Amino acid sequence: MRAVVISEFGGPEVLKVSEVAKPEPGLNEILVRVHAAGVNPVDAKTRSVEALIGWGEHRISGWDVSGTVEAVGPGVTLFAPGDEVFGMPRFPLAAGGYAEYVAAPARHFARKPAALSHEEAAAVPLAALTAWQALTDTADLKPGQRVLVHAAAGGVGHFAVQIAKALGAHVIGTASAAKHDFVRSLGADEVVDYRTTAFEDVVADVDVAIDTVGNGYGARSLKVLKPGGTLITLNGPDEIPAGADGFRTGWTLVEPDFNGMKALAALAAEGRLKPALDTVLPLEEAAKAHEIVEQGRTTGKVVLSVVA
């Protein structure tokens, strides 16, 4: 099969399309013929430095996939050959998503909603699961609460806006002025231009803040939280600010989540979760996809088209 292999750790140019052996599904695993693979910032981070364990024989990047079940291993009853599925297998261990086939645990996938194309479905798992787990599991978001989402037009941010709105929250997003209409179309009640306005000067009484940016946004977000409010940072434990007494703070790292994937699939089927595709490129242009993601200016997600 064709796969994008990391020839050595470094810049996007180290991503090379190679012929490698097709995997076989093991116990409780399915073999998925990949139609599309999502591209995330963590893909670029693990490409540039040897910071990941669990590489197989070949260092194949990527986690988000959408495709068709080709075969099932012993013990699998959830899916059958021909089923369309999407998921984020094995994270944070290597999954090998930038390839024509992926073998992984069946419960790391869910049935693909018919409302989404494979390219759209491949954009969902890692970013949307991050937002879902942060808002539901970590923050325990309730209807009527006020949620602040930073970088609301980005990969995680645009899902967080939609999920928070679906859960009944009042949603405030930060984004550049050019993206305000897009963020409002996702359901945001208020949008702040971070380039011209300090959000802490115009936002207050927030129950939950989702920091997807880092670079001091966590400490600034504390200023707008209600006493006892929740700040969730997604950029690592070092971004949890000091002086957070009286608030709930935490770093959320996404993990495979069968029930979470089913919940996201249900929202998509109902039309309440719609991934935005910034760029779709062929598998051979994985290096260009990484360049785009590393610029940090996408509206929605970047996706690789693997099998037509």
Arithmetic mean of pLDDT, 92-104: 96
pLDDT band at 54 (very low <50, low <70, confident <90, very high): low
Residue pLDDT, tens place only, 158-168: 999 999 999 99
Look at residue 243 in the predicted model and tell me its pLDDT.
Answer: 72
pLDDT band at 236 (very low <50, low <70, confident <90, very high): confident
Q: Does the structure show a pLDDT above 90 at 184?
A: yes
Q: Does the structure show a pLDDT above 80 at 131?
A: yes
pLDDT band at 245 (very low <50, low <70, confident <90, very high): confident
Arithmetic mean of pLDDT, 200-214: 96
The CATH class for the domain spanning 127-251 reads alpha beta
What is d(CA 14, CA 144) in angstroms, rounded to the nearest whole number?
47
Residue pLDDT, tens place only, 23-34: 999 999 999 999
- What residue ranges do the domains of the chain occupy? 2-124+275-305, 127-251
Q: What is the pTM of this model?
A: 0.95
Q: Does the structure show a pLDDT above 70 at 59?
A: yes
pLDDT band at 251 (very low <50, low <70, confident <90, very high): confident
Residue of 176, 186, 237 lying closest to 211 (CA atoms) = 237
Look at residue 53 in the predicted model and tell me its pLDDT.
Answer: 61
- Average pLDDT over the chain reads 95
Look at residue 13 in the predicted model and tell me its pLDDT.
Answer: 96
Look at residue 217 in the predicted model and tell me its pLDDT.
Answer: 92
Look at residue 178 in the predicted model and tell me its pLDDT.
Answer: 97
pLDDT band at 177 (very low <50, low <70, confident <90, very high): very high
pLDDT band at 250 (very low <50, low <70, confident <90, very high): confident
CA distances (Å), origin 199, targets 97, 152, 223, 303: 37, 13, 10, 31
Residue pLDDT, tens place only, 137-152: 999 999 999 999 999 9
- The CATH H-level superfamily of 2-124+275-305 is Medium-chain alcohol dehydrogenases, catalytic domain (3.90.180.10)
Q: Does the structure show a pLDDT above 70 at 18?
A: yes
Q: Does the structure show a pLDDT above 80 at 191?
A: yes
